[in-house]
Structure 1
Amino acid sequence: MERRIKALVIAEAANPEWVSVPLVGWSLASALREVADVHIVTQIRNRDAFLRAGLVEGRDFTAIDSEKLAAPLWKLADKLSMGKGVGWTMKTAVTTLGYGYFERLVWKKFGPAIQAKEYDIVHRVTPLTPTANSLIGARAKRAGVPFVMGPLNGGVPWPKGFDSERRREKEWLSYIRGAYKAMPGRGASLGAATAIICGSEHTFSEIPAKYHAKTVWLPENAIDPARFSLTAPQPGTLPLRGCFIGRLVPYKGADMAIEAALPLLRDGLLHLDIIGDGPQADDLRALITREGVEDAVTLHGWLEHKQVQSVAAQAQMLVFPSVREFGGGVVLEAMALGVVPVIVDYAGPGELVDDATGFRVPLSSRAGIVAGLRAQLQAIAADPGVLPGMAQAAQARVMRDFTWTAKAAQVERIWQGILKGGPLPQELPRRR
């Protein structure tokens, strides 16, 4: 029996009570505690949530107080982003400026233990953004301790024809995001890493070719089976029920879902549940009224997590034509419920769905996506018997490869590969 690896896991953003990156950081870091002797290092803002989750400070985790710089940078980022829930590239860029200070404090606290080889591995889980360089990597390398970065993800390009959506999201900085590749320290960070985990094919493509041998593609999202414990009915008959889950903003495509489904909605062959809230909500209500499909579309607004599962598990399909998803966690959540995803073949969702588990509509202009999605929905309605088998395949794949337990095992095998000095295991097949 192999000795359990002793790992220092750096997760600056990690919080079981939040969503997005902090939830990924928490979920992966805490799952790794099941397969290795892990000590988590996080930022002070997460301390109380860690304690409420039952972790013991000092034994299980350490909270680093970098608020002297982190707090004013967050306020500045919030101001520069010019609105709640928008300007994420700006928020990430500004808050990342303070990450170096956080790592300096981490090294001050744990540097002596790393140099004394008290840890087999140092793994930086968050930030997920590849724009955040690491000074600890080079120091760990000099100490002879392997350093792992990732999953790294972000910066998926805005597709052509969606500039108006980009402007409404106030993503001005995204036009020059690629400049981060020339930032001082990027080459040193990548070079010092023993392994680099990329959460998307796009991020993999941004890693210089000379580092590809130590780079692994492993989507960062996963699900907790306890939170997605229902299974949707898949009778293989009409009428169908579809759901959309997400923020109601143009690039997520709730309006495209409704427009594409109009013939089926009017004929009583499909009902759509729209779960989420956002600035597009009023426009969606107007669209539904204008098209006379009030009885066939339900706008649920924002729902608690348990309610989301309950509503989604009544559907046979996730109709989710988003054109800019880094990870696509909502797609995995739907698959876990046995809900077949119908998505745009781009970025995160396109990497998670294959021909056995869902339907991919080619990326195109807005009109092209609506037309392609309409054709796909009508094809499903013409043969709804295709759905039960795909739902079973989707659910089985998630439970095999995309639970947090599975994700921790995948990362632990990467750690074992590093420590044994062999080639890194490629845990999941990549779409090329």
Structure 2
Amino acid sequence: MSRQPKVLVIAEAANPEWVSVPLVGWSLATALRHVAEVHVVTHVRNRDAFLRAGEIEGETFTAIDNEALARPLWRLGEMLRMGQGKGWTALQAVQALSYPSFERLVWRRFGAAIRAGKFDVVHRVTPLSPTISSPLAKRCARAGVPFVLGPLNGGVPWPPGFESERRREREWLSYLRGAYKLLPGRRATLRHASAVVVGSRHTQSEVPAHWRDKSVYIPENAVDPARFSTVAAPEGGVLRAGFVGRMVPYKGPDMLIEAALPLLRAGRMRLEMVGDGPMLEGLTGFSAAQGVAEAVTFHGWLAHEEVQAVLGRCHLLSFPSVREFGGGVVLEAMALGVVPLIVDYAGPGELVTEGLGWKVPLGTRDEIVAGFRAALQRAAQDPGALAPMASAARARVAEAFTWARKAEQMRGVYDWVLGWEDKPAPFG
């Protein structure tokens, strides 16, 4: 079809000034305007950021206010987390309680227009969590309007041997996470959705077999070329490796420093550590105690636009996270021409394919440290030899992982559910 479909995009979390899920929501929702006539519905907390970005309320977006319920439940979630940046599963459980009220208000505002056929498709972009049901799916099915869900992602199992990290993250509710599959709201959502976009192979495996033909695999993350537009130019003759992420146990910053110790002591490597978190003070002390403080720079938290300046000085992104859903930082490094060195598990393991980076098998903590140490020593022998892999990584991102390309992939889903085209070919 030559005409663009009219799409109501539900992005409860969407904010150009934040990172993680809100940035994914904003980036995808706005990129979809290149392939469809889009009106975005978001939460009132994002309203001012939308206006600062040049959006026009009532014309390009609508802000929904369910703060009377969401705010106290959010506070409850923060209490249940028992620590800043911890207990993510508890926060998701609370969001699952408050989110349906948001969609009820969306239907109150747009239900008549949906029933009247003023939108060809309704697409819920965020929340990303597959544990959060969508009451709109059933309402749209009754109105005869296709409902697209996703990209859904999350819930990657904690790998064996990392129970202490799981406890330090206060992930008590993660032991019960699987119970969400029994909730009637989930089954109704999947039954009435026209398409379920999954952001990872793990999430696709959790879709019941009799609904799996509705699923389309499109990785969750992408890169904005305007934000990550430079080309890495590593400094000096020694290997430079960067780490970007929260300083928390499952991200593995301690494993990285331990793996790098021989090279750091020998003056053959420098580490650039970007991020803040509860482990930062201990990592700083450990580096000093091991005599490598001069070779490790802790930058703390940096604004998103400043991260590329640090990564751009590196040969490698060294990222030993053992439980990463999407792996956006991996794509950002690849876009700059920084070769990723990651654990072959979940999101990063799906993004880094042959010739684009190095993957260390998932194993015990000691096995991961040994694997990273061997890879770093290999890279340190000739950092310049990484250049062909860096070029291939940049080309792969430009080909398949920009937000504009992601929007084109979603347009394929729209055309499919509208009966305009066949189901999109598998991502690859």
Give TM-score, length-normalised by structure 1. Answer: 0.96
Q: Provide the C-alpha distance between the structure 1 equivalents of 2:425 and 2:350, rounded to a whole number of angstroms.
A: 15
Instruction: Report the more deviating stretch, 413-422 or 112-121.
Output: 413-422
* Matched-pair contact (CA < 8 Å) for 2:412–2:421: no
Distance 2:134 2:52 in 1: 29
User: 1:304: Cα distance to partner?
Assistant: 2.1
- Is the partner of 2:362 in helix, strand or coil? coil
Give the C-alpha shift of residue 426 in structure 1.
3.1
Superposition pairs of residues 266-277 of structure 1, within 5 angstroms: 266-277=265-276
Q: After the TM superposition, which of the residue ranges 297-306 and 39-48 deviates more from structure 2? A: 297-306
Structure 2 counterpart of 1:138: 138
Contact 1:7–1:123 under 8 Å retained in 2: yes
* Match of residue 363 from structure 1: 362
Contact 1:81 1:87 in 2 (8 A): yes
Name the counterpart of 1:156: 156
**Matched letter for residue 409 of structure 1:** E
**SS of structure 2 residue aligned to 1:348:** helix
1:385 CA displacement: 4.4
Question: Equivalences for 1:331-370 in 2 at 5 Å?
Answer: 331-370=330-369
Q: Which amino acid aligns with 2:58?
A: G
Distance 1:39 1:332 in 2: 28
Q: State yes or no: 1:167 paired with 2:181.
A: no
Partner of 2:245: 246
Identity %: 61
Instruction: Indicate if the aligned counterparts of 2:190 and 2:211 stay in contact, CA closer than 8 A.
Output: yes
In 2, the alpha carbon distance for the partners of 1:210 and 1:289 equals: 56
For the Cα contact (< 8 Å) 2:315–2:383, is it kept in 1?
A: no
Counterpart for residue 54 of structure 2: 54
Tell me the residue number matched to 2:5: 5
Q: Unaligned regions of 5+ residues in structure 2, if any?
A: none
Q: Which runs of 4+ in 1 moved over 6 A?
A: none
Q: Distance in 1 between matches of 2:375 and 2:310?
A: 23
Matched, 1:186 2:186: yes
Preserved CA contact (<8 Å) 2:254 2:283: yes
Alpha-carbon separation, structure 1, partners of 2:347 and 2:214 = 21
SS of the aligned residue for 1:324 comes to coil
| Structure 1 match to 2:409 | 410
Q: Is the 8 A contact 2:234 2:312 kept in 1?
A: no
Distance 2:345 2:265 in 1: 29
> What's the CA shift string for 1:316-359, capped at 9, x where partnerless?
10000000111000101100110000000011111100121000
Q: Tell me the equivalent position of 1:386.
A: 385
- Matched letter for residue 323 of structure 2: R
Specify the SS of the correspondent of 2:27: helix
Counterpart amino acid of 1:216?
Answer: V
Q: Deviation of residue 381 (structure 1)?
A: 2.4
Match of 1:217 in 2: 217
Deviation track 1:233-275 (CA, whole Å, cap 9, x = no partner) reads 269x942111001111111111111111112112222111111
Distance 2:391 2:73 in 1: 46
Equivalent position of 1:31 in the other structure: 31
Q: Following the alignment from structure 1 to structure 2, what is the Cα–Cα distance between the partners of residues 7 and 293?
A: 54
In structure 1, C-alpha distance between the alignment counterparts of 2:62 and 2:124, rounded to whole Å? 14
- DSSP 3-state at the match of 2:293: coil
Check whether the contact 1:234–1:391 (CA below 8 A) recurs between aligned residues: no
Q: CA RMSD in A?
A: 1.4
CA distance in 1, matches of 2:183, 2:385: 49
* Amino acid across the alignment from 2:48: D
Q: Check conservation: 2:234, 2:240, Cα contact below 8 A.
A: no
- Name the amino acid aligned to 1:139: R
- Measure how far apart 1:116 and its partner are: 1.1
What residue in structure 2 maps to residue 90 of structure 1? 90
- The superposition leaves residues 184-227 of structure 1 with CA deviations (integer Å, 9 ceiling, x where unpaired) of 12111101111100111111110011122110111111111111
Partner AA of 2:365 in structure 1: R
Cα distance in 1, alignment partners of residues 182 and 255 from structure 2: 37
Q: Secondary structure at the match of 1:54?
A: coil
- Counterpart of 2:282 in structure 1 is 283
For 1:306 and 1:134, locate their aligned partners in 2 and report how far apart those are by CA, in whole Å.
34
Quick check: 1:121 aligned with 2:149? no
C-alpha distance in structure 2 between counterparts of 1:155 and 1:386, whole Å:
37
CA distance in 1, matches of 2:385, 2:108: 58
Distance of aligned partners of 1:422 and 1:406 in 2 relative to their CA distance in 1, 3 Å threshold: closer
How many angstroms apart in 2 are the aligned matches of 1:86 and 1:381?
35
Q: CA deviation at 1:417?
A: 2.0
Superposition deviation, residue 298 in structure 1: 1.1
Secondary structure at the residue paired with 1:98?
helix
| Matched residue SS, 2:123 | strand
Unaligned runs of 5+ in 1: none
Give the Cα–Cα distance (whole angstroms) in 2 for the partners of residues 84 and 286 of structure 1.
Answer: 21
CA distance in 2, matches of 1:295, 1:153: 39
Find the aligned partners of 1:4 and 1:260 in 2 and give their Cα distance: 52
**Match of residue 110 from structure 1:** 110
Maintained 8 Å contact 1:70/1:98: yes
TM-score normalised to structure 2 length: 0.97
> What do residues 43-72 of structure 1 show as CA deviations (whole Å, max 9, x unaligned)?
111111111111111111111111111111
1:375, distance to aligned residue in structure 2 (A): 1.2
How many angstroms does 1:421 deviate by?
5.4
- AA of the residue aligned to 1:322: S
Partner of 1:420 in structure 2?
419
Aligned length: 428
Shift of 1:376: 1.4
